[in-house]
Structure 1
């Protein structure tokens, strides 16, 4: 390392949110980019995952990046004149972990591509005693997605570019209850959700019950005026077309009679039923049924539903991390 390094990368090459969202990173490319410790830190700083510069707490002058063999990442920030030091992970998403940064970045990539935890452990050469570590990092990353969705709630429905009502199917579903009186009693989680046709937009929210008083405010909260709502015949939906003075269209589909309305094949709820199936299969397969963590499971599914086929899903997640752990 020749000379003093006062910044990890030239600020001009730090990626913006749009650039990072558009970046298509594959696992081979990630591995090659982070083989060397300094290259790894520069890769992370360019994506705003680590501080690019640090000021000495005493002099307020730039500290330099020094080799630090005792550190898990091989470097730390230091001002020799004032005996000031700071970890390269300070205030970052990685600060509280002792896992090598290289391994964390790979774990994040594999998790973003929805690989099972046992496969992640195998790819990273982690034994069965590391299962708790992978579970904890999965929880951390779900927390990021939950925070992003809470900060940026997504309205769905409304009118399309041609002024036509956007169709949203709604339904309620019970997650992880005991079926057929088998096994230990579990109360389960009632979830109210909506799925926009033709898009990957959806929402899921846990509800204490399925009454009109509970569900109608959620329709008004999540659905834009003009939405064409399709539901089953649950009594709580009877007055949806009257909400807000009549800002919604509403059609009812009765499952017991048909798979779709014989008079209008577009009146059905097959998309949201498919969403429930995928959500339950996903949550049960990889994460179990922790009551405490259940809301984060839903937030993760909603985010994955939007980017499940995107080659830039890792970049989208890095944007979320960078925005929440901002160094500005």
Structure 2
């Protein structure tokens, strides 16, 4: 199993240009398995060039006092249970799409031009990939902070205006970012009451943490819950991102979230996945390293047939 690699786009081109390299890369990241045990005769079968497991072992079966020979006809696709099962496009195209998906600079239009796949096909595959990101966030997330640690928290609304109406209907998100580290949390909240926001903070931030927030009444009693609370200055008044009272880091996090979320045509059911993608990029800021961990996350959600 690959314990760490960093692949750039040029190196990915080299991989997808050779079918053996594609297979080896998928083997190394446990997206495919090399061998399975035949459920009929127990033989170990290797994956063939057509991505199939086919057992042709000749077995002897007792028939009365005599023995008869029979060829085992166990068959199963090598893509069974994997992310690629029932795919109508090639593995190399899917690998390329996965790389473009985690590269925030690539639009659907650009991905369609590069892969010659229709925008509808790409949107469908990106939807499957969002499930991988969400699963990773749900299984790998951990609490932020602790004694001696500073976490900036803030809330923001994400949505779009309808025609000329002043009202913006969207999703309110409470976010936090740990200074000096990669840990963040982004949680949608149904309301902005003090009770709701404090419960989210208790779910995501360890006691003893110093919490820095804007001067909002919703956080005024947070010190009663085992935290140290400081109110932040306007980020324009402080250029020092590590000063004790500014909220520059969380403001930058909101900018990243807004850059991730499309301005138009956002489906409500996809909103959480956009937050999860920001979460994933913050943990793995390097594109090549991020691709490696995305491969492992895919294998964790879609383990191959054994």
TM-score, with structure 2 as normaliser: 0.85
Q: 1:86-105: CA deviations, max 9, x gaps?
A: 11211111113211111101
Distance 1:282 1:60 in 2: 49
| Counterpart pick for 1:167 among 150, 168, 177 | 150
Aligned equivalent of 1:121? 112
List gaps (5 residues or longer) in structure 2.
57-70
Distance 1:210 1:184 in 2: 20
Kindly indicate whether residue 99 of structure 2 is the aligned counterpart of residue 109 of structure 1.
Answer: yes
Q: How does 1:33-44 map to 2 (within 5 A)?
A: 33-44=15-26
Distance 2:219 2:15 in 1: 53
Summarize the Cα distance change of 1:250–1:34 in structure 2 as closer, same or farther, 3 Å threshold: same
Q: How does 1:164-243 map to 2 (within 5 A)?
A: 165-178=148-161, 182=164, 187-243=169-225
Instruction: Report the Cα offset of residue 156 of structure 1.
Output: 1.1
List gaps (5 residues or longer) in structure 1.
1-13, 68-73, 160-164
* Total equivalences in the alignment: 288
Summarize the Cα distance change of 1:33–1:251 in structure 2 as closer, same or farther, 3 Å threshold: same
Q: How does 1:294-305 map to 2 (within 5 A)?
A: 294-305=271-282
Distance 1:122 1:147 in 2: 29
Instruction: Report the Cα offset of residue 321 of structure 1.
Output: 1.3
Distance 2:21 2:259 in 1: 39
Higher strand share: 2
Q: State whether residues 232 and 269 of structure 1, in contact with CA within 8 Å, keep that contact through their aligned partners in structure 2.
A: yes
Q: State whether residues 253 and 260 of structure 1, in contact with CA within 8 Å, keep that contact through their aligned partners in structure 2.
A: no
User: Greater relative contact order: 1 or 2 (C-alpha under 8 angstroms, separation 6 or more)?
Assistant: 2
Q: Any idea what SS the aligned residue of 1:77 has? A: strand
Q: 1:142-200: CA deviations, max 9, x gaps?
A: 211111111122211113xxxxx211111111101427x72697621011111122223
Q: Any idea what SS the aligned residue of 1:292 has? A: helix
TM-score, with structure 1 as normaliser: 0.80
Aligned equivalent of 2:67? none
Q: State whether residues 79 and 85 of structure 1, in contact with CA within 8 Å, keep that contact through their aligned partners in structure 2.
A: yes
Q: Any idea what SS the aligned residue of 1:194 has? A: strand
Distance 1:188 1:249 in 2: 31
Q: Any idea what SS the aligned residue of 2:98 has? A: helix
Summarize the Cα distance change of 1:157–1:66 in structure 2 as closer, same or farther, 3 Å threshold: closer
